[in-house]
Amino acid sequence: MATALLILHGLVAVALLGAITHQTLAAWAPSGARPSSFFGRFRTVPPAAYTNAIVGLYLGGALLGAIVYLYFKVDIQPDLERDRHWHALGFFDLKEDFVAIGLGLLPAYWISWRWPFADKRGRTEVALTTILGFIVWWGFIVGHVMNDIMGFGS
């Protein structure tokens, strides 16, 4: 059961990673970018279109991560501590903190990207999207490194 939840957590994380990366690049792209340029292509889909999907995927990923976290604490962390993987455990602790900060930012992020205001993109939307993008990328990379160190369920 834990392995299936971890796989589902990973799939949600990949979908979230794609959506937040696309929105971040579209938010940072200049509004006058040529449609044929790399960044101009990101602007063809309005960045606000990703907001609800990102919020849902973030909440779903955090919930699945919280469930899988119980298995991690009981089955995996003691072995990592025994083998003295302190840096990896420290990075994972930062991941937990960053995800909690991201959960706190979600309401402000959602409100800032609401459709009536989406035509006038400001610094707030770009900043919140960039912070969430960093959090998602950090969590994704650290989660994979932790899984690569010990494997899950071994």
The model's pLDDT over 24-33, given as tens digits with 9 standing for 90+, comes to: 988 887 766 6
Higher pLDDT, 25 or 58: 58
Q: What is the pTM of this model?
A: 0.86
- Rounded Cα distance between 103 and 78, Å, is 27
> What value does the mean pLDDT take over residues 75-102?
91
The CA-atom distances, in angstroms, between 79 and each of 45, 82, 85, 87, 154 are 46, 5, 9, 14, 10
From the list 147, 145, 121, 125, the residue with the least C-alpha distance to 68 is: 147
